[in-house]
Protein backbone atom coordinates (compact mmCIF):
# COMPACT_ATOMS: atom_id res chain seq x y z
CA UNK A 1 0.00 0.00 0.00
CA UNK A 2 1.32 3.41 -0.97
CA UNK A 3 2.51 5.89 1.64
CA UNK A 4 1.80 9.62 1.62
CA UNK A 5 3.95 12.13 3.49
CA UNK A 6 1.57 14.41 5.36
CA UNK A 7 2.66 17.15 7.74
CA UNK A 8 5.66 15.41 9.19
CA UNK A 9 4.93 11.71 8.87
CA UNK A 10 4.21 8.94 6.39
CA UNK A 11 0.65 7.63 6.46
CA UNK A 12 -1.26 5.04 4.47
CA UNK A 13 -3.04 6.38 1.42
CA UNK A 14 -6.52 6.03 2.92
CA UNK A 15 -5.41 7.99 5.98
CA UNK A 16 -3.98 10.93 4.01
CA UNK A 17 -6.68 13.51 4.71
CA UNK A 18 -6.83 17.27 5.02
CA UNK A 19 -9.44 19.49 6.64
CA UNK A 20 -12.39 20.79 4.63
CA UNK A 21 -11.40 24.18 6.07
CA UNK A 22 -7.97 24.06 4.38
CA UNK A 23 -7.68 27.10 2.12
CA UNK A 24 -5.99 24.94 -0.50
CA UNK A 25 -9.33 23.16 -0.91
CA UNK A 26 -11.60 26.14 -0.31
CA UNK A 27 -9.77 28.62 -2.55
CA UNK A 28 -6.98 26.86 -4.44
CA UNK A 29 -4.61 28.74 -2.15
CA UNK A 30 -1.29 26.95 -2.32
CA UNK A 31 1.58 25.90 -4.56
CA UNK A 32 2.89 22.63 -5.92
CA UNK A 33 5.60 20.93 -7.92
CA UNK A 34 5.46 17.91 -10.19
CA UNK A 35 8.82 16.13 -10.18
CA UNK A 36 10.07 13.07 -12.05
CA UNK A 37 12.18 10.20 -10.78
CA UNK A 38 14.46 8.44 -13.26
CA UNK A 39 16.51 5.38 -12.31
CA UNK A 40 16.01 6.17 -8.63
CA UNK A 41 17.28 9.74 -9.05
CA UNK A 42 15.02 12.74 -8.45
CA UNK A 43 15.26 14.84 -11.62
CA UNK A 44 16.37 18.48 -11.31
CA UNK A 45 15.60 18.27 -7.60
CA UNK A 46 17.17 21.54 -6.49
CA UNK A 47 15.47 23.51 -9.27
CA UNK A 48 12.05 22.17 -8.28
CA UNK A 49 12.56 22.90 -4.59
CA UNK A 50 13.81 26.40 -5.38
CA UNK A 51 10.80 27.10 -7.60
CA UNK A 52 8.40 25.89 -4.91
CA UNK A 53 9.85 28.32 -2.36
CA UNK A 54 9.81 31.14 -4.90
CA UNK A 55 6.14 30.45 -5.68
CA UNK A 56 5.34 30.38 -1.97
CA UNK A 57 7.16 33.66 -1.38
CA UNK A 58 5.30 35.31 -4.25
CA UNK A 59 1.92 34.52 -2.66
CA UNK A 60 3.20 35.36 0.87
CA UNK A 61 2.93 31.83 2.17
CA UNK A 62 5.55 30.42 4.52
CA UNK A 63 6.58 26.83 3.92
CA UNK A 64 6.75 25.33 7.43
CA UNK A 65 10.06 23.53 6.78
CA UNK A 66 13.50 24.40 5.53
CA UNK A 67 14.46 23.46 1.98
CA UNK A 68 16.76 20.76 3.39
CA UNK A 69 13.98 19.29 5.54
CA UNK A 70 11.56 19.31 2.63
CA UNK A 71 14.09 17.66 0.33
CA UNK A 72 14.65 14.94 2.91
CA UNK A 73 10.88 14.39 3.20
CA UNK A 74 10.59 14.00 -0.58
CA UNK A 75 13.47 11.53 -0.65
CA UNK A 76 11.93 9.57 2.22
CA UNK A 77 8.58 9.36 0.43
CA UNK A 78 10.17 8.10 -2.78
CA UNK A 79 12.03 5.38 -0.86
CA UNK A 80 8.95 4.38 1.16
CA UNK A 81 7.05 3.76 -2.09
CA UNK A 82 9.99 2.07 -3.81
CA UNK A 83 9.77 4.43 -6.78
CA UNK A 84 12.60 3.87 -9.24
CA UNK A 85 10.96 5.62 -12.18
CA UNK A 86 7.89 7.67 -11.39
CA UNK A 87 6.36 10.96 -10.42
CA UNK A 88 6.26 13.10 -7.28
CA UNK A 89 3.53 15.59 -6.46
CA UNK A 90 4.75 18.00 -3.77
CA UNK A 91 2.00 20.27 -2.44
CA UNK A 92 1.94 23.09 0.09
CA UNK A 93 -1.49 24.45 1.00
CA UNK A 94 -2.23 27.59 3.00
CA UNK A 95 -3.57 25.39 5.79
CA UNK A 96 -6.68 25.43 7.94
CA UNK A 97 -8.51 28.75 8.26
CA UNK A 98 -12.07 29.94 8.35
CA UNK A 99 -14.60 30.43 5.55
CA UNK A 100 -13.32 33.93 4.81
CA UNK A 101 -10.60 34.86 2.35
CA UNK A 102 -8.09 36.15 4.92
CA UNK A 103 -5.03 33.88 4.45
CA UNK A 104 -3.35 35.15 7.60
CA UNK A 105 -5.94 33.38 9.75
CA UNK A 106 -4.42 30.10 8.56
CA UNK A 107 -1.94 29.40 11.35
CA UNK A 108 0.30 26.93 9.54
CA UNK A 109 0.70 25.72 5.97
CA UNK A 110 0.15 22.03 5.28
CA UNK A 111 2.58 19.90 3.27
CA UNK A 112 1.89 16.60 1.57
CA UNK A 113 3.95 14.52 -0.83
CA UNK A 114 2.75 11.79 -3.19
CA UNK A 115 5.19 9.46 -4.96
CA UNK A 116 3.54 7.30 -7.60
CA UNK A 117 3.50 6.54 -11.31
CA UNK A 118 2.14 8.69 -14.11
CA UNK A 119 1.42 8.29 -17.80
CA UNK A 120 0.16 11.58 -19.18
CA UNK A 121 -0.15 10.63 -22.85
CA UNK A 122 -0.42 7.30 -24.70
CA UNK A 123 2.81 5.97 -26.19
CA UNK A 124 1.22 6.34 -29.63
CA UNK A 125 1.32 10.13 -29.23
CA UNK A 126 5.10 10.05 -28.83
CA UNK A 127 5.56 7.87 -31.89
CA UNK A 128 3.02 9.44 -34.23
CA UNK A 129 2.56 12.90 -32.73
CA UNK A 130 -0.33 14.67 -31.08
CA UNK A 131 -3.29 16.70 -32.23
CA UNK A 132 -3.83 20.08 -30.53
CA UNK A 133 -6.37 22.86 -30.83
CA UNK A 134 -6.41 26.55 -29.97
CA UNK A 135 -8.31 27.28 -26.78
CA UNK A 136 -10.88 30.04 -26.55
CA UNK A 137 -10.08 30.27 -22.84
CA UNK A 138 -7.54 33.07 -22.45
CA UNK A 139 -4.51 32.57 -20.23
CA UNK A 140 -4.64 34.40 -16.89
CA UNK A 141 -3.38 37.97 -17.20
CA UNK A 142 0.20 38.14 -15.81
CA UNK A 143 -0.84 41.08 -13.61
CA UNK A 144 -3.59 38.89 -12.16
CA UNK A 145 -1.32 35.99 -11.27
CA UNK A 146 2.36 35.86 -12.25
CA UNK A 147 2.86 32.89 -14.59
CA UNK A 148 5.99 31.90 -12.64
CA UNK A 149 3.78 30.93 -9.67
CA UNK A 150 2.84 27.26 -9.88
CA UNK A 151 -0.33 27.57 -7.85
CA UNK A 152 -3.09 25.14 -6.93
CA UNK A 153 -5.60 27.31 -8.78
CA UNK A 154 -5.57 25.53 -12.16
CA UNK A 155 -9.13 26.25 -13.25
CA UNK A 156 -7.92 28.41 -16.15
CA UNK A 157 -5.92 25.47 -17.50
CA UNK A 158 -8.70 22.97 -16.80
CA UNK A 159 -11.25 24.94 -18.82
CA UNK A 160 -8.84 24.94 -21.77
CA UNK A 161 -8.20 21.21 -21.28
CA UNK A 162 -11.94 20.59 -21.50
CA UNK A 163 -11.91 22.37 -24.87
CA UNK A 164 -9.16 20.02 -26.06
CA UNK A 165 -11.00 16.92 -24.89
CA UNK A 166 -14.25 18.08 -26.45
CA UNK A 167 -12.39 18.47 -29.76
CA UNK A 168 -10.80 15.02 -29.49
CA UNK A 169 -7.34 16.55 -29.08
CA UNK A 170 -4.59 15.74 -26.63
CA UNK A 171 -3.83 19.35 -25.71
CA UNK A 172 -4.95 22.94 -26.20
CA UNK A 173 -2.76 25.93 -26.95
CA UNK A 174 -3.60 28.89 -24.73
CA UNK A 175 -3.14 32.49 -25.84
CA UNK A 176 -2.71 35.55 -23.67
CA UNK A 177 -4.85 38.69 -23.62
CA UNK A 178 -2.83 40.13 -26.51
CA UNK A 179 -3.30 37.07 -28.71
CA UNK A 180 0.22 35.70 -28.31
CA UNK A 181 0.95 32.05 -27.52
CA UNK A 182 1.32 31.52 -23.78
CA UNK A 183 1.52 27.76 -23.18
CA UNK A 184 -0.47 24.56 -23.47
CA UNK A 185 -2.73 23.55 -20.57
CA UNK A 186 0.10 21.74 -18.84
CA UNK A 187 3.12 22.09 -21.10
CA UNK A 188 5.43 24.68 -22.61
CA UNK A 189 5.30 25.30 -26.37
CA UNK A 190 8.17 25.24 -28.88
CA UNK A 191 8.10 26.01 -32.59
CA UNK A 192 10.77 25.16 -35.18
CA UNK A 193 11.09 27.13 -38.40
CA UNK A 194 14.08 27.23 -40.70
CA UNK A 195 16.16 25.26 -38.22
CA UNK A 196 15.65 27.86 -35.46
CA UNK A 197 13.77 26.95 -32.28
CA UNK A 198 11.33 29.51 -30.90
CA UNK A 199 9.46 29.53 -27.59
CA UNK A 200 7.28 32.15 -25.87
CA UNK A 201 8.93 34.20 -23.12
CA UNK A 202 7.67 33.81 -19.57
CA UNK A 203 6.21 37.31 -19.84
CA UNK A 204 3.74 36.01 -22.43
CA UNK A 205 2.07 33.96 -19.71
CA UNK A 206 3.97 30.69 -19.71
CA UNK A 207 5.27 28.84 -16.69
CA UNK A 208 9.04 28.98 -16.39
CA UNK A 209 9.18 25.24 -16.93
CA UNK A 210 12.07 23.21 -15.61
CA UNK A 211 11.85 20.70 -18.45
CA UNK A 212 11.67 23.72 -20.78
CA UNK A 213 14.95 25.02 -19.35
CA UNK A 214 16.64 21.63 -19.75
CA UNK A 215 15.50 21.31 -23.37
CA UNK A 216 16.71 24.83 -24.17
CA UNK A 217 20.10 23.95 -22.64
CA UNK A 218 20.32 20.69 -24.61
CA UNK A 219 19.33 22.40 -27.86
CA UNK A 220 21.92 25.16 -27.46
CA UNK A 221 24.59 22.61 -26.51
CA UNK A 222 23.86 20.83 -29.80
CA UNK A 223 24.34 24.05 -31.75
CA UNK A 224 20.74 25.10 -32.28
CA UNK A 225 19.69 28.72 -32.04
CA UNK A 226 16.91 29.12 -29.47
CA UNK A 227 14.94 32.37 -29.47
CA UNK A 228 12.40 33.47 -26.88
CA UNK A 229 9.88 35.71 -28.62
CA UNK A 230 6.16 36.35 -28.85
CA UNK A 231 4.49 33.85 -31.16
CA UNK A 232 1.13 34.12 -32.90
CA UNK A 233 -1.32 31.52 -34.09
CA UNK A 234 0.04 32.13 -37.59
CA UNK A 235 3.53 31.14 -36.38
CA UNK A 236 2.11 27.80 -35.25
CA UNK A 237 0.27 27.25 -38.53
CA UNK A 238 3.33 27.81 -40.74
CA UNK A 239 5.91 26.07 -38.53
CA UNK A 240 8.10 23.19 -39.66
CA UNK A 241 7.76 21.49 -36.28
CA UNK A 242 5.93 22.05 -33.00
CA UNK A 243 6.64 20.25 -29.77
CA UNK A 244 5.62 20.53 -26.14
CA UNK A 245 7.67 20.01 -23.00
CA UNK A 246 6.73 19.35 -19.39
CA UNK A 247 7.61 17.29 -16.36
CA UNK A 248 4.98 14.65 -17.09
CA UNK A 249 4.94 15.07 -20.88
CA UNK A 250 8.75 15.25 -21.29
CA UNK A 251 9.14 16.08 -25.02
CA UNK A 252 6.23 15.34 -27.36
CA UNK A 253 5.65 16.30 -30.98
CA UNK A 254 2.56 18.04 -32.34
CA UNK A 255 1.39 17.03 -35.83
CA UNK A 256 -1.85 18.96 -36.28
CA UNK A 257 -3.04 22.35 -34.98
CA UNK A 258 -6.65 23.36 -35.51
CA UNK A 259 -6.84 20.83 -38.35
CA UNK A 260 -3.70 22.13 -40.06
CA UNK A 261 -0.90 19.63 -40.59
CA UNK A 262 2.46 20.54 -39.06
CA UNK A 263 5.41 19.76 -41.33
CA UNK A 264 4.92 16.38 -42.97
CA UNK A 265 2.40 15.24 -40.37
CA UNK A 266 4.95 13.36 -38.27
CA UNK A 267 7.13 14.41 -35.29
CA UNK A 268 9.97 16.40 -36.86
CA UNK A 269 13.69 15.69 -36.94
CA UNK A 270 14.59 18.27 -34.28
CA UNK A 271 11.70 17.14 -32.06
CA UNK A 272 12.86 13.53 -32.22
CA UNK A 273 16.47 14.53 -31.63
CA UNK A 274 15.63 16.61 -28.55
CA UNK A 275 13.37 13.89 -27.21
CA UNK A 276 16.28 11.43 -27.41
CA UNK A 277 18.72 13.91 -25.91
CA UNK A 278 16.31 14.63 -23.07
CA UNK A 279 15.86 10.89 -22.44
CA UNK A 280 19.64 10.35 -22.35
CA UNK A 281 20.14 13.37 -20.07
CA UNK A 282 17.35 12.34 -17.67
CA UNK A 283 18.54 8.74 -17.42
CA UNK A 284 22.26 9.49 -17.18
Strands (E), 148-280: 171-175, 181-184, 188-193, 196-199, 226-228, 241-246, 250-257, 260-261
Of these residues, 17, 41, 57, 150, which one is catalytic? 150
- Output the CA–CA distances (angstroms, integers) from residue 253 to 29, 133, 257, in the order listed: 33, 14, 11
Sign of the dihedral defined by the CA atoms of residues 158, 163, 167, 171, in that order: negative
Query: Is residue 135 within 8 Å of 163, Cβ to Cβ?
Result: yes
Q: Which of 189, 207, 206 is nearest to 198 (CA)?
A: 189
Determine whether 128 is an active site residue: no
Q: Which of 181, 227, 211, 206 is nearest to 274 (CA)?
A: 211
Residues recognised as catalytic = 150
Amino acid sequence: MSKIWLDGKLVDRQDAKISVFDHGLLYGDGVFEGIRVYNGKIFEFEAHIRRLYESAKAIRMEVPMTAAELSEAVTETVKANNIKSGYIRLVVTRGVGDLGLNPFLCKRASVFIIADHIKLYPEEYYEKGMKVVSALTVRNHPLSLPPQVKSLNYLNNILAKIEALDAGAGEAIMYNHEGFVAEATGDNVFVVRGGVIFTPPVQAGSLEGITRAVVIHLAKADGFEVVEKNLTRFDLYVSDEVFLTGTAAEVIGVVTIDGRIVGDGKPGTITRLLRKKFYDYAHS
